[in-house]
Amino acid sequence: MIGFALMIPIALVSGLMPGGGLPFLIVVLSFATKLDPFISLPMVIGYMAANDLTEPIPSILLGIPGARSSQATILDGYPLARRGLGGTALGAAYTSSLIGGITGGIALFAVLPFARELLKLFGSAEFFLLSLLGIAAVGIISSGAIVKGLLVAVLGLLIGMIGWADVAAGTRATFGIDYLYDGVHIIPVVVGLFALPEIADLVVSNSPVAKERLSDMLKHGNKDVYDGMRIALHHKWLIVRSALIGVFVGAMPGLGPTPAHWIAYAQARQTEKGARETFGTGDIRGVIAPEASNNATDGGVLMPTLLFAIPGSAPMAIVLGFLILVGIQPGPQMVGAHLDLTLSLVYVIILANIVVVPIVLRFSPLLTKVAAVPPQILAPLVIGVVTISAFQANLNIADLVVVAVFGVLGVFMKAYGWPRPPILIAIVLAGPLEKYMTISVQALGISMLWRPSFLAIIAVIGAAVFLSLRVQRGTQDMANRHDAAEMQSEPNPAQQGTSGSD
Amino acid sequence: MSTNDQQSLESSRQVSWRSPELLGELILLALLMLLMIVYVVEISGLREPGRWLPYVTLSVGFPLWFLRLYTVLGRRKKIAQGMIMDLGFRVSDDASAERRRAARYAASIAILFFGVWAIGFHVGLPLWVISYLALYAKVKWYYLVLIAAAYAAFLFGVLDYVLDIEWFEPLLFRLAGIDYPFNAWPPPGGFA
Give the 3-state secondary structure of B82-118.
CCCCCCCCCCCCCHHHHHHHHHHHHHHHHHHHHHHHH
**Residue pairs between chains A and B whose CB atoms are closer than 8 Å:** 239
In a domain, B128, yes or no: yes
Work out the minimum CA distance from A68 to partner chain B, whole angstroms: 6
Which residues have CB under 8 Å from A278's CB, separation 6+?
A: none
Q: Are residues B60 and B102 in the same domain?
A: no
- From chain A, pick out residues whose CB is under 8 angstroms from the CB of B132: 379-380
Q: Are residues B105 and B153 in the same domain?
A: yes
Q: What is the ipTM of this complex?
A: 0.86
Work out the minimum CA distance from B191 to partner chain A, whole angstroms: 24
Chain B CB within 8 Å of residue A333 CB? no
Q: Are residues B114 and B68 in the same domain?
A: no
In a domain, B32, yes or no: yes
Residue A274's identity, in one-letter code, is G
Q: Are residues B128 and B164 in the same domain?
A: yes
Q: Are residues B180 and B103 in the same domain?
A: yes
The number of folded domains in chain B is 2
For residues B102 and B89, the answer to whether their CB atoms sit within 8 Å is no
Q: Are residues B40 and B104 in the same domain?
A: no
Name the average pLDDT for chain A: 79
In a domain, B139, yes or no: yes
In a domain, B83, yes or no: no
How far is Cα B84 from Cα A255, in angstroms, rounded to an integer?
Answer: 8
Q: Which pLDDT does position A214 carry in this prediction? A: 58
The model's pLDDT over A241-298, given as tens digits with 9 standing for 90+, comes to 999 988 888 887 666 677 788 888 888 888 888 877 888 788 899 899 989 998 888 8
For residue B117, the chain A residue with the least C-alpha distance is: A397
Higher pLDDT, B110 or A451: B110
How far is Cα A6 from Cα A338, in angstroms, rounded to an integer?
Answer: 24
Binary contact (B32, A155; C-beta < 8 A): yes
The model's pLDDT over A320-373, given as tens digits with 9 standing for 90+, comes to 877 877 778 787 778 888 888 888 888 888 888 888 888 887 777 677 766 667
Q: Which of A26-30, A440-444, B136-140 has the lowest mean pLDDT?
A: A26-30
Q: Which pLDDT does position B86 carry in this prediction? A: 56
Of the candidates B64, B137, B168, the beta carbon closest to that of A147 is on B64
User: Which domain, by its residues, includes B123?
Assistant: 96-184
Q: Are residues B55 and B111 in the same domain?
A: no
Q: Determine the straight-line distance between the first and last CA of chain A, rounded to whole angstroms.
A: 42
How far is Cα A288 from Cα A91, in angstroms, rounded to an integer?
Answer: 10
Q: Are residues B66 and B112 in the same domain?
A: no
Residues of chain A with pLDDT > 90, as a percent, come to: 11
Q: Which pLDDT does position A223 carry in this prediction? A: 76
Model confidence at A402, pLDDT cuts 50, 70, 90, reads: very high
**Paired residues of B76 in beta bridges:** B14
Residue B9 predicted with pLDDT over 70 = no
Q: Are residues B125 and B175 in the same domain?
A: yes
Binary contact (A313, B85; C-beta < 8 A): yes
Residues of chain A with pLDDT > 70, as a percent, come to: 82
Nearest Cα neighbor of B4 from A78, A283, A484 is: A484
**Paired residues of A170 in beta bridges:** A165
Tell me which of B19, B42, B73 is where a domain ends.
B73
Q: Which of A124, A152, A155, A177 to mutate to test the interface with B (most CBs of B within 10 A)?
A: A155
Q: With the CA atoms of A491, A495, A498 and A502 taken in that order, what torsion angle do they form, in degrees rounded to the nearest 10?
A: 140
Three-state SS for B166?
coil
Q: Are residues B121 and B173 in the same domain?
A: yes
Q: Is A282 left (phi over 0), alpha (psi -120 to 50) or beta?
A: left
Q: Are residues B106 and B174 in the same domain?
A: yes
In a domain, B120, yes or no: yes
Q: Which pLDDT does position B5 carry in this prediction? A: 46
Chain A CB within 8 Å of residue B172 CB? no
In a domain, B79, yes or no: no
Model confidence at B7, pLDDT cuts 50, 70, 90, reads: very low
Q: Which pLDDT does position B77 carry in this prediction? A: 52
Tell me which of B21, B38, B73 is where a domain ends.
B73
Tell me which of B36, B58, B73 is where a domain ends.
B73
Residue A311, CA atoms < 13 Å, CB-side half-sphere: 26
User: Which of residues 50 through 79 in chain A touch B, CB cutoff 8 A?
Assistant: 65, 67-68
Q: Are residues B49 and B103 in the same domain?
A: no
The model's pLDDT over A220-231, given as tens digits with 9 standing for 90+, comes to 667 778 888 899
For residues A251 and A460, the answer to whether their CB atoms sit within 8 Å is no
Binary contact (B137, A376; C-beta < 8 A): yes
Whether the model pTM is above 0.95? no
How far is Cα B86 from Cα B162, in angstroms, rounded to an integer?
Answer: 36
- What DSSP line would sit under A19-77, residue for residue? TTHHHHHHHHHHHHTTS-HHHHHHHHHHHHHHHHHHTHHIIIIISS-SSGGGHHHHHHH
Model confidence at A77, pLDDT cuts 50, 70, 90, reads: confident
In a domain, B84, yes or no: no
Q: Which pLDDT does position A406 carry in this prediction? A: 95
Residue ranges in A256-397 assigned as alpha helix (H): 257-271, 275-278, 285-308, 314-325, 339-362, 364-371, 375-392
In a domain, B177, yes or no: yes
